Homo-oligomer: A and B are copies of this chain.
Amino acid sequence: MRVGELSKRSGVPVPTIKYYLREGLLPAGVLTSPNQAHYDDEHLRRLRLVRALVDVGGLSIATVRGVLTAVDTRDDSLHNKLGAVQEAISQPSPVELDPLAVKDVQAFCERHGGLEGFDIAASNVTLMLAAALSAARSVGHDHFQDLLDSYLEGLKIIAKADLDYIAHRGSRDDIIEGMVVGTLIGDEVLKAVRRLAHVEVSRDLMAPPAPPKANETPGSAL
């Protein structure tokens, strides 16, 4: 396809595509005449991935280049690629870390075998967790870490759905693109559904008991 069709199918304007080509984020097309290049589905997939990283992820061009290098590295498992992408799209809040919060993260990772490999001080993901727990401690909530195991239990159900959502996508670029969109837009979806889950659960725990019907035990009001 020509650049106009690539633009139409990806939703990315032609000048932006040309910018990505100049920056090396998109490989050059095959020249069919001195002024015309031909692009294929691989270009379309890569373009969608770049757009997800730039528009949804808000990453700088330099960071996108780093992510693409990780994606294109040979002899690396998809699991490792996803880890590299996740680090790139995760930004800890710029709060001062409370050493006790860092210890809580350390203990949490040690409790869960699959997280042993994390270098707490070097991973954006664990720094993000330490920053959030530090913020909780700074307003007097020093037991928030007690929730972490329940959070992980619920989030494993969600992570399985997330990975199932991306795993059957065809190409590596599509899988990575799904990971970026699924992680970042998924964060917003999760926030909203979490509030709905609070409503459902607090209705059971805290709403005033409805007048009892036959064969029904009224719930206890807090």
Contact = CB atoms under 8 A, between A and B. Distances in A.
A160 interface: yes
Q: How many copies does the complex hold?
A: 2
A39 to B, nearest CB: 17
A132 B189 contact: yes
A198 B125 CA distance: 11
A193 B90 CA distance: 12
Interface of A: 11, 48, 51-52, 55-56, 77-80, 82-83, 86, 90, 93, 109, 112, 114-115, 118, 125-126, 128-129, 131-133, 135-136, 139-141, 143-144, 146-148, 150-163, 165, 167, 178, 181-183, 185-208, 221-222
B195 A183 contact: yes
Contacts of A82: 198, 202, 206
Contact of A206 (B78, B141, B161): B78
A186 B115 CA distance: 20
